[in-house]
Amino acid sequence: MTRRHTVTTGCVLAITALVLAAAPAVARPLSAGTAAAPAALKPPSGMLEALQRDLHLTREQAQARLLNETRLTPVEAQLRRRLGIEFAGSWFTGDVAQTLMVATTDRDNLSQIAAAGARGEVVSRSLAQLDGVIDEVDAALSTHQGGQVRYIDVKTNKVVVLSDTPSTTEDVIQASGVDPVAVQVVSSTERPQPLSDLVGGEAYYAGPATRCSVGFSVVRGLQNGFVSAGHCGTAGRTTTGADRREQGIFQASTFPDSDFAWISVNGNWSPKPAVSNGTGGTVSVAGSRPVIEGASVCRSGPVTGWHCGLILQRNASITYAQGNVSELVRTNVCAEAGDSGGSFISVDQAQGVTSGGSGDCTSGGVSYFQPINEILTTYGLSLVTIAGNPPPPSTGTCTGYPHTAEGTLTEGRSVYQPNGRFYRSTADGVHFACLDANDGSDLDLYLQKWIGRSWATVATSAGPGPDEKITYTGTAGYYRYRVTASSRSTPYVLGYRRP
């Protein structure tokens, strides 16, 4: 499985030091070109206050942080596209996120990074290579009791493993053949587990006793519903609202491996493009654009209400008692049992649904969320927003998938993805892939599986146009995609998800 560092010159702000509370140690799933700065930024009600409280900022500092994040986000997206396979990650640095750092494996890219208004850093491993390393680490630690948390740390250009038995974990990783230079094992007692206990952040009940939280309102065709955590219930399980009125039914649920579900609701429930802000008001949902590491993010849940913090790392893997969950986002936002499934939002952009965490909202903690676009893509859902209901992220441009690969193909040539190699699926399930290229070209897509001595093609999408999709149900094993250009040279994007 594949997953999914320079100078900013405008906006220098004097600020006081940002002090973050240290997170406690035990984690559990939560159930029971430089863009012009906007002329004005009006954050949703309650967001500035929560940022001041949780990040120990003044109101002016909180406003400056959000302004800079808004200003620099399109810069990061542009550089990510331009650098392609030489892109090695990005993050904000500074108490109010006034500097955008962009890592690259090629020193020649530093000038264009600086010209765009960011600060560049040269590293040895690309983000795609780190994706491959964390897949290998996940596989090596699948039966090991240590190393419950793994994530890609773009700041150090390594995969970090948190383990309560670090020496043993290091031995396991070394014996597996994973490049030890690319992995850092850190001593930690953090042990995530799910926390159980239609406006995002409001409570609902799965069965008589499991309390979880609504994530975001969605639609699929004419059916209304919402997304939440997969560990809250299995397909077919009925739900009731916070007032115990009949509400809906789990249409699909994935846990472990991933941690998400979608629940259809009856006619008595109207989906709203809103998230509860914990003070009787709501925050509007305008889209689902992912934010950069180091950006501000807020969480809403029925137990602890509205809390804010920062995006720490992406591509985090967690070992719960029920099994591994990968491709999560790690934050320093606190959460407690019963907040599972709740909304993570940055200003007005939906980020994901709460999976698990450690600590509490009294002493502080760490929490993890499942990215929203992966949920929408997997289930073919449309997010309910103030501008209407856009199609699922996988439509047309193949965005929203947890793994992507880009390149350019000459007519008659083929390439294997990811990165000329393969990925490992440790469980039976469905493989999804979407290929997008320029109009007028003709690309074909093949999914192949290793059968012991050779690769066998198990699924094919070879239509006459530039866009192809594959959905294949298969057993655990090693897989790869072959992309072939039947006519005309063209750039392409491949998005995919393994079971």
What does the alpha-carbon distance between residue 198 and residue 276 come to, in Å, rounded to a whole number? Answer: 10
214 bridge partner residues:
none
Choice among 188, 340, 346, 358 that is catalytic: 340
Catalytic residue (one of 231, 307, 403, 431): 231
Rounded to 10 degrees, the C-alpha dihedral 318/320/324/329 comes to -30
DSSP secondary structure code for residue 231 in this structure:
G
CA distance 118 to 109: 12
Residues 6+ apart with CB under 8 A from 264: 220, 223, 224, 225, 248, 249, 251
Say if residues 310 and 295 touch (Cβ distance below 8 Å).
Answer: yes
Query: Rounded CA gap, 395 and 400, in Å?
Result: 9
In the set 54, 259, 436, 442, the catalytic residue is: 259
Cα–Cα distances (Å) from 33 to 74, 79, 357, 397, 406, in that order, read 8, 8, 37, 22, 21
Q: Which residues of 369-403 are buried (b: 16+ CB within 10 A; e: fewer)?
A: bbbbbbbbbbbebbbbbeeebeebbbbeebbbbbb
403 as an active site residue: the answer is no
SS3 353: strand
Instruction: Examine the residue annotation and report whether 259 is marked as an active-site residue of this protein.
Output: yes
The encoded tokens of residue 430 equal: 């469905």
Structure tokens at 101: 């750092």
Catalytic site includes residue 340: yes
Please count the CA atoms within 13 angstroms of the CA of 388 that sit on its side-chain side.
3
Query: Which residues of 107-176 form beta strands (DSSP E)?
Result: 119-122, 149-153, 158-163
Report the distance separating Cα 70 and Cα 221, nearest Å.
32
Q: Are 73 and 291 in contact (CB under 8 A)?
A: yes
Residues with a known catalytic role: 231, 259, 340
